[in-house]
Amino acid sequence: MTSIRILKTISFMAIFALAACSPATVQEVTTPKSEIQVSERTERLDSLLSSLTQEKAVPGISLLVIENGKETYFNVQGYMDQENQIPQTRDSVARYYSMTKPIVGVALMTLFEDGKFALDDPIAKYLPEYSELKVYVTGDDTSQSTLVDPVRPVTIRDLMRHTSGMTYGLFTNTAVDQMYREAGTLSLEDSNAKLSQKLGKLPLQVQPGTKWIYSVSVDVQGRLIEVLSGKSLGEFLSETIFEPLQMKHTGFTVKPNDRELFGPAYRLGKTGLSRLSDEGRNTPITVEDMFVQDVAFESGGSGLVSTIDDFAQFAKMLLGKGALGDVRIIQPKTLAMMTRDQLDDADHGWLGKDMGFGLNFAIKTGAVTEGSLPQPVGSYGWGGLAGTYFWIDPQNQLTVVLQIQVLGHEHANIRKRIVAAVYGVTLPVN
């Protein structure tokens, strides 16, 4: 299988598995918090985690549920390292990949609150490498193409709602994706500044503001943070998010004392689980190098490692409308704006009709339909390539954090089954 075909396969699970669920009615998932029976839910979740390990859908799994700021469920089962029989524990460090994005979004919006930018400012105001962007247009004859001027500049809001017109160069195979690969975007050897310079020379896939396309936009946000703050992305995240929330195991590289807590990543395929390494993998998506080596690239889109309790600190802050205890990270008004659908009339792309997108968060905006997760309207969150996932349910004052390390997790419908078990939704038997 070619690397592009492999990456296409990855995309449907890791990126869009957020919306991968069987039919359910909205009434099934809007149960008031007072009626959620914790003991019954605990039985459902314990049974599901046991089933997932017995099915060998995961080598190990951790799940944490918090309601009203208090832990009401935690369980961990299986192995962090299956081959060496090393158990997964509450302290296990994992690749959180795209769950980096909400953290970077909150960090960027603290600069918004400081008056450093306006959401509708053109990105070229702060990153001049984007001042001469073009849009790639294909004619009726696909062999004919041209570059045209954007109808309006790409804005910071576009970066945060994935309507910049950029792409990833990984998960689809458009002409612009091919240009991204040829340019070597997402190289671990490139600083955020160098990546941004490369992206400024590449065309947009569509006109700004017209379509939701999952992209490197959050990596551009990372560079924007560096320019606006005068600090590296890692430094700014540490000072603004990690240290105040006591996320001691979170960062762009595994801390020396945590190396024994950092296990391998796996792929779930038709023949079961297989252990992954970077050796011989023709893709910029790494499972080892970017997390254990001192590389130049601090990826705002996919670079963080964390633990389930560390990430829960961030999630509890969101559930607390921007504050955790006496520590306020962001103002309630700002967070409310971030978790409100911002797509307007833009094509929703792969999100689906019942999903919207705010500023670095996906948001449940409509009744549950076939192909979406059975969550209450107003819930928001995001997931990572290796299956990590979290959501905030303001209606029930609940947050859930899932930690697994399995690419191809969609083959076992893991996220769908977790959400259904939390809310007591019965899924059809396939």
Side-chain-facing half-sphere of 178: CA atoms under 13 Å? 4
Question: Is residue 214 located within the same domain as residue 252?
Answer: no
pLDDT in tens, 379-416: 999 999 999 999 999 999 999 999 999 999 999 999 99
Q: Looking at residue 11, what is its pLDDT?
A: 40
Q: What pTM was computed for the model? A: 0.92
Model pLDDT, residue 37 = 84
Are residues 418 and 400 in contact, defined by beta-carbon separation less than 8 angstroms?
yes
Residue 13 predicted with pLDDT over 60:
no
143, 149, 306 from 138: Cα distances, Å: 8, 14, 42
Mean pLDDT for the stretch of residues 118-133:
98
- Would you list the DSSP string of 114-131? TTS--TTSBGGGT-GGGT
Per-residue pLDDT, 280: 73
- Largest alpha-carbon pair distance within the chain? 62
- Any domain includes 257: yes
How many residues does the structure list for the chain?
A: 430
259 and 344 part of one domain: yes
Q: What is the CA radius of gyration of the chain?
A: 20
d(CA 409, CA 245): 29
Average pLDDT (279-304) is 90
Other Cβ atoms closer than 10 A to 218: 25
Which pLDDT score is estimated for 141? 58
Phi, psi at residue 88, to the nearest 5°?
A: -75, 140
Structure-token match 């967070």, residue found: 335
Report the DSSP pairing between strands 406-407 and 266-269. Answer: parallel
- Specify if 197 maps to a domain: yes
Residues 188 and 318 in one domain: no
**Domains in the chain, number:** 2
pLDDT for res 143: 67
Name the pLDDT band for 65 (thresholds 50, 70, 90). Answer: very high
pLDDT band at 20 (very low <50, low <70, confident <90, very high): very low
Residues 389 and 283 both lie in one domain: yes
As given in the structure block, the two tokens for residue 21 are 């669920």
Task: Give 333's contacts (C-beta < 8 A, 6+ positions apart).
Answer: none
Phi, psi angles (nearest 5°) of residue 219: -65, -35
Q: What is the model's pLDDT at position 54? A: 97
Token pair in block for residue 2: 């070619």
Confidence of residue 282 (pLDDT cuts 50, 70, 90): low
| C-beta of residue 164 within 8 angstroms of C-beta of residue 211 | no
The pLDDT value given to residue 140: 60
Q: Scanning the structure block, which residue is given the tokens 């944490």? A: 64
Q: What is the mean pLDDT of the chain?
A: 90
CB count within 10 Å of CB 175 equals 12
In a domain, 430, yes or no: no
pLDDT confidence of residue 36:
54
Using CA atoms, how far apart are residues 10 and 23, in angstroms rounded to an integer?
Answer: 23
Residues 168 and 100 in one domain: no
Res 368: pLDDT: 73
Indicate if 122 and 95 belong to the same structural domain.
no
429 is a domain residue = no
The reply to whether 263 and 385 lie within a common domain is yes
pLDDT band at 14 (very low <50, low <70, confident <90, very high): very low
Token pair recorded at residue 199: 């992206």
Quick check: 233 pLDDT over 60? Answer: yes
Least confident of 91-100, 131-140, 356-365, 382-391: 131-140
Has residue 405 been placed in a domain? Answer: yes
pLDDT at residue 284 is higher than 80:
no
d(CA 277, CA 256): 20
Q: Residues 182, 86: one domain?
A: no
Residue 112 counted as domain residue: no
Alpha-helix runs per DSSP H in 184-286:
192-200, 217-229, 233-237
Band of pLDDT at residue 372, cut at 50, 70 and 90: confident
At residue 272, the pLDDT reads 95
CB 107 within 8 Å of CB 335: no
Q: Is residue 121 part of a domain?
A: yes
> Which structural domain range is residue 134 located in?
117-229
